[in-house]
Structure 1
């Protein structure tokens, strides 16, 4: 086996060993055995909330254990193929197995990053809001591009996206959108995307083909389950109903089915219009409000409230977390971590993992922000 591949095998073995240690392998196996026995006990459903909690823990533990076992099997299989290929002089088999080992290393690196997702709500589904900044059609088109980017990212990561509320722009794009992203660790991955995103390009709406800078803000907050109690007095909220707008079929504008809830003490506003039923929209809006208030509490616990407030003060210069430059050159740069990509189209097509991983590591381990204008 070539020294380069042997080094790669050693790296993978070490990484698997670290993942096993982080999982606390032997106690994890015993815990899964206990949960499997509990799952077969019909009395567990006498307390549905506790049963769901145990089932969720069982599923996650089983996935992690099976995932590690799968990595060990893949490693052994590919080592065996390399040895067999070298013995028989079959270079194609050796090359294929070596490529598979490199792909394994990438998979393991992602799993190591996921170990950073240990926050209280990281594994939850998440709401993601996008708001266009000043600049009319330009920023509204940019907000629509961000909607597409996050939808593509979710699709690549086998997550589901549901649009709860959308306001179209006058000429193109959108003024705002609220999405529900469902998937394992959805909030954990997306939480570092909160902030202002800046686009520099030759405007397709400018007859003189001038360069324009546009801003849109992204705000991410986790879905909370019933086990988290958040008391919201009726006197603290104002509820408004209105007619839904935008695409939604022939019935969408015929009744006041859309619901907007304003939390007076914090001035947080949530709204939902995706269902024809006002009752369903009201229930979803209440869930969104509980999630926003819970997210505020999480931020306070992380002593990051001041930073978060600064990130949403203005949708404009000085508050951006990432810049996307399409002209006069092509570059996407995260201003917190310094991570760059010279393929903006790939990023806008949902290739965000590199940026998210770096931002997660930066958030956990700390570090000075990279504040540098790039256009």
Structure 2
């Protein structure tokens, strides 16, 4: 019997086939420099380039929409034992000048660096998800406005937003991601079943800052897909379910690793997987716990296990008051990049 994963991959292949007929990959690539310039401003590189996400210590966060996280991110990294460099005191301008990244010369953040910066801030990061349905629960909120939900999440204290764009089983649309990206200042993750590099390029054009890459889906192709992400400056949230998948993610150079405790074929949950796999991920890699997160006690346990972020969707979508649910999960503490 064909499992859910096989079905959703088949649906993804068909969507890519249709979209490529409407707008070929070559056209997306040709239009990318202009799109990147709109995203990053006058300092955007011209032509196709490798927009590898820099280590967060080398990124100037003193300007732009993420200016409020600059000192907090650097303080967090120092406390975590990252190299301190020549200066013992946290003086952003002096330190950036020593790194050749002073205010006048610092390149702007790529979309992926904006996403990574949010996960690097002190405290547990909430990535709030927008989805209208799920295979395990059916329809959750068929008439949901992605734009309105995104604004609600931003006001309530989410640090990033995940948008499910899979159409057949989750009732998502790529246009949902664009609507959210245009309506909030938070970084946006595209969550879908990525099986073709075309989807990476269309995600970047749609306004994504990061994209979900599932190891079980991509297997040995993972490094190739991560390289495509670098070409367009997207962060890759690399999702794992088993120890060998964590090993492959690390070997592929993943900077952000997600642990999903839901089996993609049976759709059953195994919460113990969060702790089992978190132990395998070394310091310096950002970690995201996915699926099965509904209560404050679960959030506290994940924080104690060392996770940097939680990705929560179903419990927020079905909550009578999503803002109150966010406050409950975070213990009443707002982490919105402005505090």
Pairwise same-fold verdict (TM > 0.5): no
Structure 1 length as normaliser, TM-score?
0.28
RCO (CA 8 Å, sep 6+): is it higher in 1 or 2?
A: 2
Structure 2 length as normaliser, TM-score?
0.30
